[in-house]
Amino acid sequence: MVENQEFKIIGFFCNWCSYAGADLAGNLRLAYPADLRIARIPCTGRMDPLFALKALLDGADGVMVSG
Amino acid sequence: MSSVGVFICHCGTNIAGKVDVAKVSDDAINIPGVVYSSHQKYSCSEAGQKVIIDAIKENRIDKVVIGSCSPKMHENTFRKTIEQAGLNPYMLEIANLREHVSWVTADKDSATRKAFDLVKAAVGKVSFAKPLTPGQVTVEKRALVIGGGIAGIQAALDIANMGYEVVMVEKEPSIGGRMAQLDKTFPTLDCSACILSPRMVDVAQHPNIRLLTYSEVENVNGYVGNFNVTIRKKAKFVDESICTGCLECVTKCPLKKKIPNEFENGKAPRGAIYVPFAQAVPKVPVIDKEHCQWLLSPDPDTIEVAEGEKKPKRKCGVCAKKCELGAIDFDMQDELINEKFGAIVIATGFNLFDHKKYGEYGAGEIPDVITGLDFERMVNSSGPTEGKIVRPSNGEKPKKVAFIQCVGSRDEAKGIPYCSRICCMYTAKQAILVREKLPDAEVYVFYMDIRAGGKGYEEFVLRAQREYGANYVRGRVSRIYEQDGHLVLKAADTILGMPLEMEADMVILATGSIAREDSVALANTIGITTDAYGFISEVHPKLKPVEVPREGVFACGAALSPRDIPDTVATAGAVAAKVGVLFSNDILMSDPMVANVDPMVCVACGACVEVCPYSAITMEEFRGKKFAKVNEAMCQGCGTCSAACRPGAAQLRGQTDEQILKSIEAVLQW
């Protein structure tokens, strides 16, 4: 891992748990690296493998699915 | 090509303090499709909303991105805003610049870059947004109340008094529940039956309430406003329409002293045909098919005998012979009833911890160690001892009575870390009752802490101590054993810091509340969840305390968590109000962000039908072509079908493949 380099990690977060959890992290002002871009999906059931492939093909450094 | 307007909110300094909002706004104008971009102090304020409305009209914006707080905060606010400007409310996407950026990022440049990426994603997603219109469903204005204890009774009466029809389903032969088993209630020492019985009768006589006792809910289908429920009405073997409740049959049953009566906590007998207690509603006996000799003996029609031999007759049948009206019907079968309801109320109550798990207290083997509920029945004038407080071992009056609190409460070793909230109070009440009935008896209460939070509760405990002379000892009893016709208690007095040994004639264990053994099964039937202990989970413990995650279903009383009668009645009233709010609608708007299958693209593989967690998709056929069809009222918008669909026929509105793929591309490529 290169130091001070910013990554682009695409997150697919379930609206009801992880997305709300990320909101809670905000409410609690818990700082974390800015490399994550969270997309809100209605449920991890919505997570089509195509989304992860599309993100990686378009140049994402990583994909995070949480739900 | 769409014309997207971007509005970046400062949120005072909440966002603007970390994100260079002017830069994000300036750069946003270069995002493909964006025709307008600005930033403002508070977008959600009236002035801020007016800026948005005016900008939409002046710049012919047809899709809107707002970079602000979490969509969970103000998505609905801004949907209404753009609707006022003449746009479809779903032509909106929120970029979460506060909770997901400014509040969690240390570095300003990183925050600004991240914010811009999220704005790009939102523009990408909204550019494929389509106008959506909520569906409409009618509301069946009838409520199902499951459970006939004080929670269900209160909820049913309140709903019925609003003018709506109610069906109450009770598993036992009579309504009344736990409260009917109690003698007095704290802290007023009201006679429990005296305040409950009139309400039980109200339920039975209310023109809007239909009572189904000895019945259970077997299946629940459908959705808010339109539930289809199957109820199993177990065979009572007594025709309710004929029986007058004379109970001649009950008094003549040869087994009348043989079977432990559940209502008396097993401490008094009943027959195979019985009413659980004198004030039972309805006052119609049932025949327990597990014990009835007639029902257990083989049917003569099925027995083959040699010619000339007599067929054996059924045993007993005394009740049928004694019933002059002919209400006994041994051929009665369980009945399955299908009914439609708009709302469901869960009021199934609680059980008490089984003290057999406490080996140190004799594991239920010592006759003079009884539970609080045993004592309630004992001290009740219609109970097994007709109200006399006596030692079960020899029938003598106890001279020294010890109470032990927190048996199956606040005991992690027994898997119950929570406080049952009622035991401190019912112990104080029972201590008072012992001192009232046996003024010469000494009373000791072993406690961990006294939790007397409630109106008049602390004063009540003080009364037990000061006025009635109950001796409170802080400390846990570690062992109880029998010696020379007495009980010996080994304990620690944690205030004096000394071990303690005490003789007593009778010990009453304050057993805690636990979930009913069938609560998880009921939750599964209804499609909702329970907590780790089996209590029904509410949507939000503070703001939605009687709502459960399935819309149109509510819960009240001790089915949710341990609670006393006042809290139970309060939540039952709350549930009735919620049902009233629901029933005040003739038509409900359903969320339009649900799945849809394009029949022209569908190949009828059935993958979506299989994965749908809500059974909302079925296979249909039209002119020989098979395709999947979504019941939009049942769809909860999870999108699992969309992910499973190979040709892309199933699409979740507002979260289509092209919308999500475009937002990914926007972050990484634009």
Same domain, B497 and B521: no
Q: Which residues of A touch B660 (CB under 8 A)?
A: 39, 41, 48, 51
Across the interface, whether the CB atoms of A27 and B652 are under 8 A apart is answered no
At B443 the three-state DSSP class reads: strand
Residue B106: inside a domain: yes
Residue B204: inside a domain: yes
Same domain, B524 and B577: yes
Q: How far apart are CA B49 and CA B341, in angstroms?
A: 41
What letter does residue B547 receive in the DSSP assignment?
A: B
Q: How far apart are CA B13 and CA B17, in angstroms?
A: 5
How near does any CA of chain A get to the CA of B167, in Å?
34
pLDDT tens digits for range B420-468: 999 999 999 999 999 999 999 999 999 999 999 999 999 999 999 999 9
Phi-psi region of B337 (alpha: psi -120 to 50; beta: other; left: phi over 0): beta
Same domain, B579 and B601: no
Q: Which two tokens stand for residue B48?
A: 């801020």
Answer whether residue A5 shows pLDDT above 90. Answer: no
Residue B31: inside a domain: yes
Same domain, B427 and B385: yes
Same domain, B621 and B645: yes
Q: Burial-class residue B171 by CB neighbours within 10 Å (0-12, 13-18, 19+).
A: middle
- Which of residues B556 and A20 earns the better pLDDT score? B556
Same domain, B472 and B497: yes
How near does any CA of chain B get to the CA of A49, in Å?
8
Q: Is B593 on the interface with A (CB under 8 A)?
A: yes
Q: Is B71 on the interface with A (CB under 8 A)?
A: yes
CATH code for the domain of B99: 3.40.50
Residue B616: inside a domain: yes
How near does any CA of chain B get to the CA of A1, in Å?
18
How confident is residue B375, by pLDDT bands cut at 50, 70 and 90? very high
> What's the pTM value of the predicted model, to 2 decimals?
0.79
Q: How far apart are CA B153 and CA B176, in angstroms?
A: 8
Answer whether residue B613 shows pLDDT above 90. Answer: no
Q: Which residues of B touch A59 (CB under 8 A)?
A: 668-669
Domain termination site, one of B89, B107, B131: B131
Same domain, B325 and B257: yes
Q: Which two tokens stand for residue B102?
A: 């400014």
> Structural domain tally of chain B?
5
Q: Which residues of A touch B104 (CB under 8 A)?
A: 25-26, 29-32
Q: Which two tokens stand for residue A51?
A: 């989304």
Across the interface, whether the CB atoms of A40 and B100 are under 8 A apart is answered no
Same domain, B157 and B102: no
How near does any CA of chain B get to the CA of A50, in Å?
9
Across the interface, whether the CB atoms of A51 and B661 are under 8 A apart is answered yes
Same domain, B471 and B610: no
Same domain, B360 and B396: yes
> Which domain, by its residues, includes B192?
142-234+342-349+516-583
Q: What is the 3-state secondary structure (H, E, C) of B109-156?
A: HHHHHHHHHHHHHHHHHHCCCCCCCCEEEECCCEEEEECCCHHHHHHH
Same domain, B432 and B537: no
> Which residue in B has a C-alpha nearest to residue A47's C-alpha?
B643
Cα–Cα–Cα angle for B173, B178, B183, rounded to 5 degrees: 115
pLDDT of residue B1: 67
Q: Is B103 on the interface with A (CB under 8 A)?
A: yes
Across the interface, whether the CB atoms of B99 and A25 are under 8 A apart is answered yes
- Of B152, B157, B145, whose CA–CA distance to B203 is shortest? B157
Please enumerate in sequence order all residues whose Cβ is within 8 A of that of B429, keeping only pairs 6 or more positions apart, or say none: B184, B185, B186, B187, B189, B460, B464
Across the interface, whether the CB atoms of B668 and A10 are under 8 A apart is answered yes
> Which residue in B has a C-alpha nearest to residue A60's C-alpha?
B668
Largest CA distance in chain B: 107
How confident is residue B306, by pLDDT bands cut at 50, 70 and 90? confident
B126 in Cβ contact with B90 (< 8 Å): no
Listing DSSP states for B342-358 in one string gives SEEEE---EEE--GGG-
Q: Is B111 on the interface with A (CB under 8 A)?
A: yes
Residue B12: inside a domain: yes
pLDDT of residue A2: 57
How confident is residue B88, by pLDDT bands cut at 50, 70 and 90? very high
pLDDT tens digits for range B20-37: 999 999 999 999 999 999
Overall average pLDDT of the B490-505 stretch: 95
Q: Which two tokens stand for residue B50?
A: 């007016």
B239 in Cβ contact with B254 (< 8 Å): no
Shortest CB distance from A59 goes to which of B98, B642, B668?
B668
Domain termination site, one of B471, B495, B514: B514
Q: Which residues of A touch B107 (CB under 8 A)?
A: 34
Across the interface, whether the CB atoms of B668 and A55 are under 8 A apart is answered yes
Same domain, B362 and B508: yes
How confident is residue B299, by pLDDT bands cut at 50, 70 and 90? confident
Residue B666: inside a domain: no
Across the interface, whether the CB atoms of B104 and A39 are under 8 A apart is answered no
- Of B416, B444, B437, whose CA–CA distance to B511 is shortest? B416
Overall average pLDDT of the B42-50 stretch: 95
Residue B429: inside a domain: yes
Sign for the CA dihedral angle at B54, B58, B64, B65 comes to negative
Residue B23: inside a domain: yes
Across the interface, whether the CB atoms of A27 and B668 are under 8 A apart is answered no
Residue type, B68: S
